[in-house]
């Protein structure tokens, strides 16, 4: 029972890491799209509200969120690796 719980926990951490990585990639793509739209003037632009500076700020925020997601993904991967090492040290292989 304990063996299945540890391997399930590790698999869960790895799945969470993969999901966070996918979210980070999606946010990076959206940030690049927003930045491109701001540079070319493409997309919906509301006078006085969505000038290029504001649109670039939105892209920057998206990029910051993507970086946070990437860091969380790395943390989940490290946690899964730590669980594996801990399991091997305890002799539950």
pLDDT digits (tens, 9 = 90+) for 23-45: 888 989 988 998 888 888 777 66
* pLDDT surpasses 70 at 4: no
Where b means 16+ CB within 10 Å and e means fewer, 17-26 reads beebbebbee
pLDDT digits (tens, 9 = 90+) for 39-72: 887 776 666 667 788 888 888 999 999 999 889 8
* pLDDT surpasses 70 at 14: yes
**What would the mean pLDDT of 8-34 be, rounded to a whole number?**
85
Q: For residues 23 and 72, what is the distance between their CA atoms, to the nearest angstrom?
A: 11
């Amino acid at each position: 029972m304990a063996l299945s719980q540890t391997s399930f926990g590790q698999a869960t951490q790895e799945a969470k890491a993969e999901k966070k990585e996918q979210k980070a990639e999606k946010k990076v793509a959206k940030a690049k799209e927003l930045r491109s739209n701001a540079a070319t003037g493409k997309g919906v632009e509301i006078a006085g509200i969505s000038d290029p500076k504001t649109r670039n700020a939105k892209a920057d925020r998206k990029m910051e969120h993507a970086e946070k997601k990437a860091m969380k993904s790395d943390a989940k991967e490290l946690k899964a690796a730590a669980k594996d090492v801990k399991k091997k040290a305890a002799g539950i292989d």
